[in-house]
Structure 1
Amino acid sequence: MTTANHFELLGRDGAARTGRLTTPHGVVRTPAFMPVGTAGAMKGMHWREVREAGTDIVLGNTYHLMLRPGAERIAALGGLQKFTGWNGPMLTDSGGFQVMSLSELRKVSENAVTFRSHIDGARVELSPERSIEVQRLLGADIAMQMDECVRLPAERSDIERAMQLSLRWAERSKRAFESAAPGAMLFGIVQGGDVPELRHTSARELVGIGFHGYAIGGLAVGEPQSVMLAMIEATAPQLPEGRPRYLMGVGTPGDILEAVARGIDMFDCVMPTRNGRHGMAFTRFGQINLRNARHGDDPRPLDEASTWPSTRNCSRAYLHHLVRSGETLGAMLLSEINIAYYQQLMHDIRNAVSNGTFEDFRASTRAGWAHGDIAPR
């Protein structure tokens, strides 16, 4: 494999791994969770809070940024990091998933996807070459190949057609990426739906093409967790040991813990901030709904043992009041609380893998979630 490697595998505990991924804008400790800044912003949070919570890398969305404010404009303003003020590593997705999920009028051809912008209805064509061009203009540390994602359940014929098209687009994406800036990376995306044989074929062909890292796509699109985990088990062993493995769009803390146990290194999901905006907090006791009336007279914090100030200091009664009153501060506080919990989980996972205690940590963490929140006195 001639593609340069920027990933160092530091340790293993069973299939769980810990490592270091070096990018032009800094080092990413793995396993890593990437908060999603869809339009170049983290909803409800300042970048300072995102960094202080322990975040190494964030995700920007090619589809949204190419439509507004535009990739060429961002490039003229110095790239995503300078434009947004986030001075760390950034991964951008290819835009393919958003085209499929947000654009009602779209046409997929061998050459490209043509769709109508959800903003103004303008006709837009997104090819593998244009997707890579947009990501290079944005200045992404890690770009993703263009792919077609099929929602599950689906007919095997549809899954195989999309997988084969994604492989051809992978080759075109790599050719388009050849003149990228030094240190920038391109990840291939394994497709194949819920069919293990198709996952094997996709992984094998992508490894033959050669990428800096490999993502598992087409999951967390409606299938049960058992199917998702089975597809990880079918795919991860087919990928190079010394390259990072990224499970796209996942997920809950439970999903992440189980995926790490199966050899995954990187994750992203909108869930911490989205659920925070709807009054939900992630904690070591599981997810807590601050809309519930039982919190209205509870002076305790969400978790007095947490290292994050808002989790440790804000009373449940106050958070309940903010959420029920529709105050913006409630969504902001719960978003930062959730991002901090996710990053603490990743920190603890990395330590457990390094210390050879991952299975004990996995069991105790699951037991804490299963026990549930502590009832008011």
Structure 2
Amino acid sequence: MTPTPEIPGPTDDFRFRVHATDGAARTGAITMPRGTIRTPAFMPVGTAATVKAMYPEQVRALGADVVLGNTYHLMLRPGAERMARLGGLHRFMRWDGPILTDSGGFQVMSLSSLRKLDEQGVTFQSHIDGTRHHMSPERSIEIQGLLGSDIQMQLDECVRLPAEPKAIESAMHLSLRWAERCRAAFGEQPGKALFGIVQGGDVPALRVESAKALVGLDLKGYAIGGLAVGEPQAVMLAMIEAVEPHLPAGKPRYLMGVGTPDDLMRSVARGIDMFDCVMPTRAGRHGLAYTRHGRVNLRNARHAEDTSTLDETSTCPAARDYSRAYLHHLVRSDEILGMMLLTWNNLAYYQDLMAGLRGAIAAGRLADFCDETRAGWARAEGART
């Protein structure tokens, strides 16, 4: 464990520095022209140029340093070329900090009803209007460039688990070939970064092979993809443990699409620096709140006359100032304000959790912090039953 230095300001280049460690966990900072990303970091998902039910100013005020946009959705609507004519994604959505865009590969696989995948890329039918599109590794990088994103992701093939080992291996090797093409298309862009994506399903040897090959491309960062797709948490954690020793210590590690607060804590303890997930925003739109007291389902009738708030100690007004009875009423009435308040609460909790993890790592007490957090959830759950 080492002391945490002052957080550096923006730079003209992309840099990552580890400030302190606690076991495999580390806290640090990614610095780039549009700002500094404190790690471990949770990136709110702004799929279609908006973090649903939130103003950009709210997201920033909660402590988010970076948000995520999605290449698939934005290429379909409003369109990458139109976005470029409008000044890029940052200006379009009024977000002046860093933006990471994922490549669109996962959405092509999961949302498109008709698709054809080959060595050149994937041809697919839009889930919006049925129009046909082609996404190659080069086109994915071109679109992300037109959007103006700061961190771009390679195009990859994501296989849903469980899957046959041969299918997993084939997808992993195709993703590696696409990574090479993305690297060539990206070239050298000062101040921006291209991340590779480690694939290999639930087969540790394939994960290690993928990681080693990607490291050979000397990218600015490395993601672990193809998890949080239905496999047990233990499988996800085992894949992180298999991959982590083979990723450079001096570059950020990003676990894609994860996850619950417990997933975040366990993954941070295994050396992950960056996360994204729709869970806090989606849960907020469906009446579920994440708090230091655990999850609270505001649809439950028990909250109908409960005048207590979600968390009287929170700095977030949604958690501190509105009664559970009122939130229950909004949710049961399908009022938009209920979705807004619970999303606000959830993102605040996730950012507070990440700040707590960063502080715990710097102080050398990550295990205690995680134990205390889980104990708080357990006490609240015991009180409810």
**TM-score bracket for this pair, using the shorter chain length:** over 0.9
Where does 1:49-198 land on structure 2 (aligned, <5 Å)?
49-180=58-189, 182-198=190-206
Q: Structure 1 length normalisation: TM-score?
A: 0.97
* 1:369 CA drift (Å): 1.6
Letter matched to residue 165 of structure 1: L
Give SS of 1:251's match.
coil
Partners of 2:315 and 2:168 in 1: how far apart? 44
What is the rounded CA distance, in whole Å, between the counterparts of 2:258 and 2:358 in structure 1?
A: 18
Which of 344, 352, 369 is 2:352 aligned to? 344
CA shift for structure 1 position 371: 2.1
Mapped pair 1:213 → 2:221: yes
Q: Does 1:232 align with 2:240?
A: yes
Residues of 2 paired with 1:86 and 1:119: CA distance?
A: 26
RMSD: 1.1
Distance 1:333 1:101 in 2: 29
Structure 2 length-normalised TM: 0.95
Measure, in 2, the Cα distance between the counterparts of 1:375 and 1:321: 23
Give the match's secondary structure for 1:37.
coil
Match of 1:21 in 2: 30
Aligned residues of 2:29 and 2:38 also touching (Cα < 8 A):
yes
How far off is 1:375 after superposition?
Answer: 5.0
Deviations 1:67-117 (A, max 9, x none): 100011111111110111011110000000000000011011000100011
CA distance in 1, matches of 2:378, 2:125: 45
Alignment partner for residue 262 of structure 1, among 239, 247, 270? 270
The whole-number CA distance in structure 1 between the counterparts of 2:352 and 2:277 is 16
Please state whether the residue corresponding to 2:44 is helix, strand or coil. strand
| 1:288–1:373 contact (8 Å) kept in structure 2 | no
SS of residue paired to 2:92: helix
Gaps of 5+ in 1: none
Cα distance, 1:147 vs. partner?
0.3
List gaps (5 residues or longer) in structure 2: 1-12
Alignment size in residue pairs: 372
By how many angstroms is 1:285 displaced? 1.2
Task: In structure 2, give the amino acid aligned to 1:336.
Answer: W
Provide the rounded CA distance (Å) in 2 between the counterparts of 1:313 and 1:119.
39
The equivalent residue for 2:366 is 358
Residue 242 of structure 1 is aligned with which of 228, 250, 253? 250
Q: Deviations over 1:309-337 (max 9, x none)?
A: 21011100000010011100000000000
CA distance in 2, matches of 1:324, 1:375: 24
SS in 1 for 2:377: helix
Q: Which amino acid aligns with 2:225?
A: G
Letter in 1 for 2:376: G
SS in 2 for 1:36: coil
- Offset at residue 24 of structure 1 (A): 2.2
Deviations 1:256-305 (A, max 9, x none): 00000000000000011100010000001111000111111010101111
Distance 1:130 1:375 in 2: 54
Confirm or deny: 8 A CA contact 1:37 1:43 kept in the other structure. Answer: yes
Matches of 1:268 and 1:371, distance apart in 2: 28
Q: Does 2:46 align with 1:37?
A: yes
Report the CA distance between 1:370 and its aligned residue: 2.0
One-letter amino acid of the structure 2 residue matched with residue 309 of structure 1 = P
**Cα displacement string for residues 218-274 of structure 1 (whole angstroms, at most 9, x for unaligned residues):** 000010001000000101111000000000000000100000000000000001110
Letter in 2 for 1:335: T
For 2:84 and 2:233, how far apart are their aligned partners in 1? 39
State the alpha-carbon separation in 2 of the partners of residues 330 and 12 from structure 1.
39
**Separation (CA, whole Å) in 2 of partners of 1:37 and 1:232:** 25
**Within 2, Cα distance between the matches of 1:310 and 1:106?**
42
- Distance apart, 1:307 and its partner CA: 1.8
Matched to 2:326, the amino acid is Y
Structure 2 CA distance, aligned partners of 1:26 and 1:248?
A: 21
| 8 Å Cα contact 1:285-1:374 kept in structure 2 | no
What percent identity do the matched residue pairs reach?
Answer: 66
- Checking the alignment, whether the CA contact within 8 Å between 1:8 and 1:20 is kept in structure 2 is yes
> Which portions of structure 1, spanning 4 or more consecutive aligned residues, are displaced by more than 4 angstroms?
373-376
Distance 1:177 1:365 in 2: 41
Deviation of 1:13 (Å): 0.5
Q: How far off is 1:179 after superposition?
A: 4.6
